[in-house]
Structure 1
Amino acid sequence: MRRPGSGTRRLAGARVPVRVRGRGRDHGSAAVEYLGFLPLLLLVALAGVQLGLAAYAAQQAGTAARAAARTAAQRERADGAEQAGRAAVSAWVAQRSTIGGTGGCPGDAVTVTVTVTIPSVFPGVDAFGPVHRSATMPCDESN
């Protein structure tokens, strides 16, 4: 009885057994190649998530700075500027942020600076550090 994947071929008048190439020898090679490439795929995916977190933190810092500056520019509400800045962003961003320059309007304009610490996807690696955003608003002249 012949085995699958084998056959005979005539070579110079004699029959020589020949093994026909088939799927029998390649079982599992794609899985091994995938497992070897999987750590690189995970690293690239985590780097993409880290960049997304950095961009989101920067956007939220700008939003908090504008909200706090807008509130600080109103003389009757200047004391609630820090609270307005924290209320304008996500809870996890508000926990990681510091808001400075919310003292009210001593002059023609008020500037508020917000610093947000960017969380790291990789434990123990602080690749980006904090992000700083500032906003300046003219003082409300209604009073």
Structure 2
Amino acid sequence: MSYPRTRALLAGGRRDRGQVAIEYLGFLPILLIVGLAGIQLGAVAYAAEQAGTAARAGARAASLEEDVGAACSSAVSSGIDVSCASSGGGDSVTVTATVRIPKIVWDLGNATKSATMPVDH
């Protein structure tokens, strides 16, 4: 006894071979973009953390009347360029640190953080 419907289903199934591989190849660029966006987000968080660390170190140095630029530079990881500017007077000093966000996929500019410390008299 022959089952023509079963034969037709089996023959159609052979034509679908490789479909999953083609769909995966089509989805692969989306996966890569999502992965790179995640890495870029991590770079943004890292730059913001480094700017905050530099601002606190610079504010501490400024409150003790030490070199703000040297304190900011030594507070961040090597390879990170930081610029610090101090302002204020009287009883407190504010230091603003700016760090360039590393470009992975997109150029997102700078991360800027400020810290204020009382002046040690």
User: Do residues 55 (structure 1) and 45 (structure 2) align?
Assistant: yes
Match of 1:3 in 2: none
Higher relative contact order (CA 8 A, sep 6+): 2
Unaligned runs of 5+ in 2: none
Normalized against structure 1, the TM-score is what?
0.73
User: Do residues 18 (structure 1) and 7 (structure 2) align?
Assistant: yes
Give, as a single letter, the amino acid of the residue that structure 2 aligns with 1:9.
Y
User: Do residues 9 (structure 1) and 13 (structure 2) align?
Assistant: no
Give, as a single letter, the amino acid of the residue that structure 1 aligns with 2:74.
A
Give, as a single letter, the amino acid of the residue that structure 1 aligns with 2:8.
R
Q: Please, which of 47, 70, 77 is the counterpart of residue 90 of structure 1? A: 77
Contact 2:54 2:76 in 1 (8 A): yes
**Which structure is higher in helix share?**
2
Deviations 1:115-136 (A, max 9, x none): 11112212xx42x221211111
CA distance in 1, matches of 2:57, 2:104: 28
SS of the residue 1:114 aligns to: strand
Q: Please, which of 86, 90, 95 is the counterpart of residue 107 of structure 1? A: 90
Runs of 4+ in 1 over 6 A off after TM superposition: none
Normalized against structure 2, the TM-score is what?
0.85
CA distance in 1, matches of 2:45, 2:10: 52
Unaligned runs of 5+ in 1: 1-6, 11-15
Q: Please, which of 106, 118, 121 is the counterpart of residue 138 of structure 1? A: 118
CA distance in 2, matches of 1:132, 1:58: 7
Structure of greater Rg = 1
SS of the residue 1:120 aligns to: coil
Structure 1 position 8, deviation (Å): 2.0
Question: What fraction of aligned residue pairs are identical, expressed as a percent?
Answer: 47
